[in-house]
A and B are shown apart, each in its own frame.
Chain A
Amino acid sequence: MNMNKPVITAASQISSIGAGVDCLAANLGAAPRMGSAGKYDFHEFSEPIPCFKADTFDPEQVLGKKGLRTKDWATKLLLATMELGFKAQFEASSQDDKPGICVGTAFGSVQSIGDFLSDSIVNGVNAVNPQAFANTVINSPTGNANIRYESRTLSTTVSTGFNAGADALIYACDYIRRGYLNRIVAGGLEEISYYALLGMLRSGVLSPTSRILPFGTLADGFVAGEGCAMFMVESAESAAAGSRTPLAEISGYASAFEPSTFAGKFCGESARHCMKAACDDAGIRPADVGFIASGANGIRNADAMEAQAIRDVFGDTPVTAYKARFGECYGASAPLSVACALADMNAGRITGVPEGYETIDALNCVRGTAAWKRGGFVMVNSFSCDGNCTTIVIKDIHEAAYNRQHTKLQSY
């Protein structure tokens, strides 16, 4: 283990697959569990919209009743994920040593933002609940987490669209590398909201057949999802000092922007650069990457761009797309992919895309489940339709037993 590289020492997630990392590991390969969104306080879809909802936990059971009344769904999702994974560490830390918090989200609490505005239109500006205003800032979920866990060391929100969660992980690594803090809980969060779903509908990115077929030759869009995945990211020294066993090392990362990608046009130049730069940062060759967790989501021209970029840089390296399992969760997607990769690494497997559809020929796309030799590197990609490209390289710490610290989670 390189002591200069940040490591992940704990993980937590809530998604449509379930709550907790053990639940994720156990059910990752199961048939995706789809629900729907229909009626909201101020608006209603004429027909329910199929989506992957993270209604796999009871907020009151996880968080208790106190203080939840004014918290919106995005905040509850983040707090519950934090509670499942890191509560003990926050409680055991002194005031100056509490981990910081960094959350990536594309839309933040957009349901609260839109409802606040809708309320003011429908009922008048003097009828809106002033307490609801606090939920309208994009960093509201993060701030609520800082308050709940009395974390004063860092509260940051990153909002780079699809890439937000990956960029939040990078922000945390940069912050640690600069020596400002030793430990940061970082990851991504996204809620299913009326306003974001409506935007996706109007933009024509949702699959009309309600299927998500990453790299599929017949893909026709994505199915939206929601979820949250957070990780305890810390310096290797900090982990060693606290006797915390790393689950993985964050060996390298890179981010870039593709100016020519916009409004459905995709160019792979910056994506290629990003993946190569992440390998350089990790000090490895592309051939050292064991498998790639792509950002593919069923938007055909975007998937084709990523497939070609991967082909150009990595040749036949096995590729998967976890979004087939939990939907396009925007800012939470890349962290959820990291959580899936950790589960697969620990199990010595690659969970591929589901069987039953044809994928792009040029790619070594894993179907069903394949074996994977432990101890190597995994690359997680996030390439967005607005041009952001982010790649993270994580290294399996083979000698470490996977830390099954969330055994009670499956009961939720």
Chain B
Amino acid sequence: MTEIRTVITGLGIVSPIGTGVEAFWNAAVKGTCGVRPLTCIDTTDFKTKTGGEVRDFDAAAYIAPEKIKTMGRSSQFAIAAAKMAVSQAGIEFTKENPYRVAVCIGTTMGEPQILEQGIKAKYTASSADAIPADLPRQYPCAVIPANVAREFGVRGPSVIIPTACAAGNYAIGYACDLIKLGRADVVIAGGSDPFSSIAFTGFNRLLATTDTVPRPFSKNRDGMAVSEGAGVLIIENMEHAKKRGANILAEILGYGIACDAYKMTIPDPSGSGGIRAMRQALRNASITPDAVDYINAHGTGTKENDKVETLIAKDVLGERVKSIAMSSTKSMIGHTMGAASAIEACACVLMLMHGIMLPTINYEEPDPECDIDCVPNSPREVNLNIVVSNAYAFAGNCSSLVLAKFTGS
């Protein structure tokens, strides 16, 4: 039996360098840095003062006012990105079987600001009675896909996969499986994470954050930047998309996921999980390393991650790695946690469509341990056919996604 093919027909992005696909792309091509002094948190007691905030987000532009107060920022981001993606896909859910439309979202922290709000309210008032009665039900991260599904009135599986900073890729991969197994025709898939003081505190305490801006693959890199955002893709059964006359943006050829099983907060120095994930992704996509034109790196800007990711690419791609560019979107938007790989998947689709590789900005000094072509500081025009997007996470979660220009054949 011929395997069902999965295609992308819509994108939505909420990011520190722009809300909306066009705003994001224009800023990214210019090499805009969204990591700036933070305004959403008092940084007085922190070593790090910078991060990635979405400053132009207006929830009311996407969500009815009476609904906004019933949900956290992660849900708001996800709905906004989903509405952009649905609009671009030109899909009308009233014409679809609602049980064939699923939602699958990845996240690291879920709705942490709800928990933060509740605990701070209790401490401020010295009483749990100060916590609004309707607040707790906004916290479990299951509400994020539920709020998206409710917004569109769809009834298919509503899933959230909180596999930390690789969650977006996990969600996109599972979305493809839901379609390939015949459990859905369309999946609203992606990742969402708001700025979290828990994450900011934690990464600060681990000394993993930069004092200034992230400099992935640069020898003087000194850490990642905690950030926020959302990325959503409309993923469809190719035949379904063709039947409704959709404009197909790209194809998802396959994905791979694995685990380092090493330490909770640092990658396996040998890159075991990343190697396994990327190999599995290529196998799942039925391609060899020779077919890969570009890699969108996890590229956080920490010493360990970038070094190990270089090892992974060398191990999987062999000699081919010397002729493949591998850049970091996080150099511009910071680390948006569970949203990161979903935004980066959107970025990959845009790169395939425009024939432009986005740069690794803030790159200053070559590092022998990261001796790859990271597209330093300026975008590059090139014909791209197949790209790989990596994402790694706490708990050793590793993932790779393979996307291709849609040819129809």
Contact = CB atoms under 8 A, between A and B. Distances in A.
B119 A155 contact: no
Contact of A158 (B159, B164, B393, B396): B159
B135 to A, nearest CB: 7
Interface stretch (A9-17, A117-125, A218-226, A320-328): A117-125
Contacts, number: 239
A279 interface: no
A137 B103 CA distance: 22
A259 B153 contact: yes
Nearest to A173: B181
B258 interface: yes
A308 interface: no
Contacts of B115: 110, 113-114, 117, 195
Query: What is the interface residue range for chain B against chain A?
Result: 35 or more
Contact of B263 (A147, A153, A277): A147
Nearest to B45: A125
B154 A257 contact: yes
Contacts of A136: 109, 198-199, 202
A231 interface: no
A8 to B, nearest CB: 20
Contacts of B99: 256, 270, 273, 277
Interface stretch (B136-144, B316-324, B366-374, B401-409): B136-144
A152 B128 contact: no
Query: What is the interface residue range for chain A against chain B?
Result: 35 or more
A152 B276 contact: yes
B198 A117 contact: yes
A259 B150 contact: yes
Contacts of A138: 107-110, 141, 162, 164
Interface stretch (A346-354, A369-377, A382-390): A382-390
Interface string A183-207: 0000000000001001111111000
Interface stretch (B9-17, B76-84, B170-178): B170-178
Contacts of A149: 261
Given A139-B163, A387-B149, A116 B198 contact: yes
A160 B159 contact: yes
Interface stretch (A32-40, A55-63, A127-135): A127-135
* Most A-side CB within 10 Å, residue of B115, B259, B280: B259
A156 B158 contact: no
Contacts of A199: 118, 135-137, 139
A149 B153 CA distance: 42
B163 A155 contact: yes
Contacts of B123: 118, 121-122
A133 B202 contact: yes
A387 B396 contact: no
B180 interface: yes
Given A133-B205, A153-B258, A146 B161 contact: no
A175 interface: yes
A411 interface: no
Interface string B311-335: 0000000000000000000000000
Nearest to B124: A121
B394 A139 contact: yes
Contact of B128 (A106, A113, A201): A201
A182 interface: no
Contact of A130 (B145, B157, B206): B206
Contacts of A117: 115-116, 119, 197-198, 201
Given A117-B115, A160-B142, A386-B137, A262 B150 contact: yes
Nearest to A129: B205
A47 B181 CA distance: 50
A172 to B, nearest CB: 12
B33 interface: no
A309 B159 CA distance: 22
A409 B265 CA distance: 33
Interface string A147-184: 10111111111111101100100010011011010000
* Most A-side CB within 10 Å, residue of B162, B262, B265: B162
B146 interface: yes
B319 to A, nearest CB: 25
A83 interface: no
B154 A152 contact: no
B396 A157 contact: no
19 contacts: A106-B140, A114-B119, A116-B198, A118-B123, A126-B205, A139-B164, A143-B396, A146-B395, A147-B395, A152-B258, A152-B261, A152-B273, A155-B258, A155-B396, A198-B131, A203-B134, A256-B156, A273-B99, A388-B158
Given A116-B201, A138-B110, A386-B143, 9 more contacts: A110-B115, A116-B202, A120-B198, A134-B264, A154-B258, A155-B259, A158-B161, A259-B153, A273-B155
Interface of A: 43, 106-108, 110, 113-114, 116-118, 120-122, 124-126, 128-130, 133-134, 136-140, 142-144, 146-147, 149-161, 163-164, 167, 171, 174-175, 177-178, 180, 195, 198-204, 255-259, 262-263, 270, 273, 277, 384-388
